[in-house]
Structure 1
Amino acid sequence: MTEYLETPEGRRIAYNRTPGTGPGVVFLGGFKSDMEGTKALALEEWAKRTGRAFLRFDYSGHGVSDGRFEDGAIGDWFEDARDTIAALTEGPQILVGSSMGGWISLLMAREHPEKVAGLVTIAAAPDFTEDGYWASFDKETRHRLESEGSVAVPSDYGAPYIITRRLINEGRERLVLRTPLALPFPTRFLQGTADDAVSTETAIRLLDHAEGPDMRLTLVKGADHRFSDPDCLTLIETALGEVIERL
């Protein structure tokens, strides 16, 4: 059943929580996605089967949480994750971050390592506002973004994404690939080679950049950005099982 949390920032966040043993698992979704996606629901079923505590939620402006997507930025969604995890979980959690959720999980690891017991990322997209959108914009698009405040970018997932000046500028305050990044817990990165949103180079860059005693990157030939066919879902469960074993 969907419930709502009022955060200290005054944002109303929708969530679903499954009781179980700890450390619990928290799913952090992607850019403009929601907690009703295939991976989130599959993990909830896995949690119920295994008796593991599980939390999924919608960032502000996503899904059924309050707010407008176009008003949000990486820092807002990081705060949503931080506040939701702090209010609704006990002790360190295993974070499963998909795409943008991978970036946000890395921010959690950097800013609040005491709340992270382990990490699984799926097509993690750290710093995508800078290295993806801004880097791909030509001079004219950059000028339009700065002067008009937003640009529309075509999406493979439906309507164009509205990329705002605030999203780009605020994202520069949250970059994780430019400064040391410690991941001192079991960490599994999953990445498809047919992903047209996040490259395998990005996954390798993250693996090379982060520091930790127990990190592995698994590349799946032919898997796309959704990473949600039956084999990929099984692989996510396997990665979670490895992290739990090593705790």
Structure 2
Amino acid sequence: MTTESFTSPEGRRLAFRRMPATGAGVTFVWLSGFKSDMSGGKALAVEAWAKGAGHGALLFDYSGHGQSGGAFEDGTISAWREDALAVIDAQTEGPLVLVGSSMGGWMALLAALARPERVKGLVLIAPAPDFTEKLMWPEFTPGQQAEIMGEGFTLRPSAYGEPYPITRALIEDGQQWSVLDRDIVFAGPVRILQGMQDPDVPWGHALALTTALTAEDLVLTLIKDGDHRLSRDEDIGRLLAACGEVAERVRG
């Protein structure tokens, strides 16, 4: 698929790849993780699987990520939620299954709550709802926390590349989008894949999410030797099987 771009209602240039569904297919929307983009292996695997199965697919980059415009350090949960809703509204039709990885799991939940008439199923990989407050902030040293509050940001080391800025705006904005402390009302099928060796999102976080979600058709798969990325061949196989299972239930 060709990468295109459009300007969101908020004035941000967002890059996306779109493939329409055929027949009775549904559209799978990929929501990337924090500092990730639509060129990753899991995203492309879902896209290729959807094409072969007659489903639609939409991949996109949040502002400040990948091929979209904007600076990463200007991003917040509010802004990336707006990006996700803008792309869904402008570039998809019909029933949707949202596939969210890490932060993308949080974005998927927020989009499902905002567009309940469109979102019919969820597939979540190491989902990280509320990560700014519940996972990231407690990991900072008192010195880093003081730096964020006083200077407006701190540089966080990364196992995947160069250190990157974590801003006070990101931390404070994330609080208003917390979902784990109340029921997350969603009636469609949900499949969650979670590695038990994940250094970024502990598997107990996935358990908390299963408790918060009201969905009855919910399956949590704990992968004992799985890491955060879950990008091994066997992990991709589990992801695509989960997508197929959710598609069957959505189609009825």
Taking the aligned partners of 2:82 and 2:238, their CA distance within structure 1 comes to 29
The 8 Å contact of residues 182 and 210 in structure 1, kept in 2 or not, is answered as yes
TM-score, with length taken from structure 2 = 0.96
**Pair 1:80 & 2:83 matched:** yes
Task: Report the Cα offset of residue 158 of structure 1.
Answer: 0.5
The 8 Å contact of residues 194 and 225 in structure 1, kept in 2 or not, is answered as yes
Structure 2 runs not aligned, ≥5 long: none
Taking the aligned partners of 2:120 and 2:163, their CA distance within structure 1 comes to 36
Structural mapping, 1:18-167, within 5 Å:
18-21=19-22, 22-167=25-170
Q: Which amino acid in 2 is paired with 1:5?
A: F
Task: Report the Cα offset of residue 183 of structure 1.
Answer: 1.7
Q: Which amino acid in 2 is paired with 1:176?
A: V
Taking the aligned partners of 2:131 and 2:75, their CA distance within structure 1 comes to 15
In structure 1, what is the equivalent of residue 179 of structure 2?
176
The CA RMSD measured in Å over matched residues stands at 1.0
Q: Which amino acid in 2 is paired with 1:84?
A: V
More off after superposition, 18-27 vs 165-174:
18-27
Taking the aligned partners of 1:137 and 1:193, their CA distance within structure 2 comes to 22
Taking the aligned partners of 1:152 and 1:111, their CA distance within structure 2 comes to 32
Taking the aligned partners of 2:65 and 2:94, their CA distance within structure 1 comes to 26
Taking the aligned partners of 1:221 and 1:182, their CA distance within structure 2 comes to 29
How big is each residue's C-alpha offset from its partner over 1:131-159, in whole Å with a ceiling of 9 and x where there is no partner? 11112223222111111000011111101
The 8 Å contact of residues 70 and 162 in structure 1, kept in 2 or not, is answered as yes
In structure 2, what is the equivalent of residue 2 of structure 1?
3
Q: Which amino acid in 2 is paired with 1:4?
A: S
Taking the aligned partners of 1:135 and 1:178, their CA distance within structure 2 comes to 17
Task: Report the Cα offset of residue 19 of structure 1.
Answer: 2.3
Task: Report the Cα offset of residue 161 of structure 1.
Answer: 2.2
Task: Report the Cα offset of residue 179 of structure 1.
Answer: 2.3
Task: Report the Cα offset of residue 181 of structure 1.
Answer: 0.7
Task: Report the Cα offset of residue 47 of structure 1.
Answer: 1.4
The 8 Å contact of residues 188 and 243 in structure 1, kept in 2 or not, is answered as yes
Task: Report the Cα offset of residue 182 of structure 1.
Answer: 1.0
Taking the aligned partners of 1:96 and 1:9, their CA distance within structure 2 comes to 24
In structure 2, what is the equivalent of residue 241 of structure 1?
244
Q: Which amino acid in 1 is paired with 2:150?
A: S
Q: Which amino acid in 2 is paired with 1:50?
A: A
Taking the aligned partners of 1:43 and 1:140, their CA distance within structure 2 comes to 41
The 8 Å contact of residues 23 and 117 in structure 1, kept in 2 or not, is answered as no
Task: Report the Cα offset of residue 18 of structure 1.
Answer: 1.5
Taking the aligned partners of 2:187 and 2:111, their CA distance within structure 1 comes to 13
Taking the aligned partners of 2:248 and 2:218, their CA distance within structure 1 comes to 14
